[in-house]
Structure 1
Amino acid sequence: MALVRMGVLALLWGSTFLWIKLALDGLSPAQVTFTRCALGSVVLLGMCLSARRGLPRDRATWGHVVVAAFFCNALPFALFSVGEQTVDSGVAGVLNATTPLWSLLIGVVIGTERRLHPARLGGLLLGFAGTLLIFAPWGRAGLVSWGAAAMLGAAASYAVAFAYMGRHLVGKGTATIALSASQLLAATGLSALALPLGGLAPVHPGPAALSAVLVLGIFATGVTFHLTYRLIADEGATNASTVGYLLPVVSVALGAIVLHENVGLRTVAGMAVVLVGVGMTRRPARPRAHAEIAAAPAIEPAGRQ
């Protein structure tokens, strides 16, 4: 099931850049961030109600939820919205694909990846190399810019959040659907605090921008975020972050199938390298790292959210 969730997550998450770009035609970055968090939280609260799962009640859990909401939602969502005003999708894809490398570095620092298998390390590096091959950023403008720096900061923020969620929230007795719902609810509150900074101006979004922000909030934020939580619970932060390498593959494939875009030999080769790299990272985590998150599946019996 984890591989299925990873595939669905890649499909949904891989379209995020498109929806953000379209939404920015009628909304400011602060408005896009707030709206996607609010819509995503409504979706997940509905899923909680359907599954009869209550939100956390203790202050300690909510404290961790707020920290995770800042690094996994409010901050990176804002940085991606700001960055996409000036950075093209190719460069954005490359910078977003650095998340697994940041996760690896953080895992080494905090001790969860202290004995990283050479094959997994090689897979992480190979996946990033394949992403570079797909987008060839050396032939694109905008790699060194404030927008690119914002994207890189967002990727690093995701990595920090994944590690924090894996250590302080997953496997602590609260169902992942409740955690994801409460975290997006907290992110909605945090992003609302940023609305005075360019988010209170009147808006007149057209049909395309309105549709884009709806899809972004409901599917690319709400559904995607719950799948992300489940993947972290099942496989740990570093393995979960490797889905970032599949995003450029998905975007290129959808462009070729839906928009009939030309896919050259370099792109095909890059996609193959990415898939090989992701396959290499699928080696089981060492026992100690796995034990930290192994309790999560036991919290939610099969067939429940």
Structure 2
Amino acid sequence: MQQSATATRMNARTWGLLALLGMIWGGSFFFARIAVAHVPPATLVLLRVGIAALALHVYIAGRFDIYATLRARWRAFLLLGLVNNAVPHMLIFLGQTQIGAGLASILNATTPIFTVLIANRMTADEKLSPEKIAGCLIGLLGTAVLIGPRALAPFAGDGGPPLWALVLPVLAAASYGLAATYGKRFRGVAPPVIAAGQLSASTLLMLPVSLMLDSPWQLALPPLSAILAVLALALLSTAYGYILFFRIMAAAGATNTSLVTLLVPPSAILSGMLFLGERLTPLGILGMMLVLLGLVVLDGRALARLRPA
């Protein structure tokens, strides 16, 4: 069904909510960088999704026929939780043991590119157009600029982050892209139920992984800064982030809401620079600009406005 003009209009309040969501999701890379220094990645994923799932269940309070939906579609929620939470969060947190919040957010900003490529392959109604191909190529070029020099680091004595740490956020982006395509089968399910269902499923998936890999009962109590970062990651960036995301989508439509992808890296970079002393190299800035340009071309609206009537 085509969205009405009212549903897709971006007013000042909606733009403000979108900017807030960009800050919150950009902050997730900042919070993760603090927490992962004291909490092993698998346990950090478990804490993030588990606390967020609990918070969303409290928020929903049995509405939207949530428990009947979870019982009827538990297999689908398990798969969605795997590819949209458990796997990408684990990959990003592992990568962030070696790279900063800003760089991780830029690499993960390629998610829409992978979404387009995967949807072209797996669906019949979302095929590549010339604009989408151009946007994907530009964004992938930016990714290559960010990652490429690292591949030669062992030979050049660069001393920078290892190649695997740079590749992991990109693999997480591919997992998110797969989840976006798979998630279409949840049409008709209330968005808060989708969020709570996938987070509940990923909690069940990550519990045995955390127990086997980290033996969390043997871990030392993290410092207060790490505990606060975990709570912010779960309650602010995940639980409230989902609620805000769906509120914006209801007011402005999915296409306008997707603009948040452009706001996340600047937010993560700024917080990393201000509070963690991170900085981007000139090559990193070039890669970021190419990735963001690719997303603008992929979105298509800016190019449409430049075309003559």
Given that 1:103 and 1:241 are in contact with CA atoms closer than 8 Å, whether structure 2 keeps it comes out as no
1:11-160 alignment, distance < 5 Å: 11-49=23-61, 52-58=63-69, 59-89=71-101, 91-112=103-124, 114-127=126-139, 129=141, 138=149, 141-145=160-164, 147-160=165-178
Identify the residue that residue 186 of structure 1 maps to in structure 2: 201
Given that 2:102 and 2:268 are in contact with CA atoms closer than 8 Å, whether structure 1 keeps it comes out as no
Given that 1:124 and 1:242 are in contact with CA atoms closer than 8 Å, whether structure 2 keeps it comes out as no
Q: CA deviation at 1:24?
A: 1.9
Query: What SS does structure 2 have at the residue aligned with 1:27?
Result: coil
Is 1:10 equivalent to 2:22 in the alignment?
yes
Structure 2: distance between partners of 1:20 and 1:43: 19
Structure 1: distance between partners of 2:147 and 2:170: 17
In structure 1, list runs of 5 or more residues that go unmatched.
285-305
| Counterparts in 2 of 1:253 and 1:103: CA distance versus 1, 3 Å | same
| Superposition CA RMSD, Å | 3.6
| Counterparts in 2 of 1:253 and 1:151: CA distance versus 1, 3 Å | closer
| Counterparts in 2 of 1:267 and 1:78: CA distance versus 1, 3 Å | closer
| Counterparts in 2 of 1:117 and 1:144: CA distance versus 1, 3 Å | same
Deviation string 1:259-296 (CA, Å, 9 cap, x unpaired) is 89888988777766655543433348xxxxxxxxxxxx
| Counterparts in 2 of 1:211 and 1:180: CA distance versus 1, 3 Å | same
| Counterparts in 2 of 1:255 and 1:83: CA distance versus 1, 3 Å | closer
Question: TM-score, with normalisation over the residues of structure 1?
Answer: 0.74
What percent of counterpart residues are identical? 26
Question: TM-score, with normalisation over the residues of structure 2?
Answer: 0.73
Query: What SS does structure 1 have at the residue aligned with 2:64?
Result: coil
Q: CA deviation at 1:92?
A: 2.4
Q: In terms of mean alpha carbon deviation, does 17-26 or 124-133 score higher?
A: 124-133
Q: CA deviation at 1:132?
A: 6.8
| Counterparts in 2 of 1:221 and 1:137: CA distance versus 1, 3 Å | farther
Given that 2:52 and 2:234 are in contact with CA atoms closer than 8 Å, whether structure 1 keeps it comes out as yes
Q: CA deviation at 1:33?
A: 0.8
Query: What SS does structure 2 have at the residue aligned with 1:121?
Result: helix
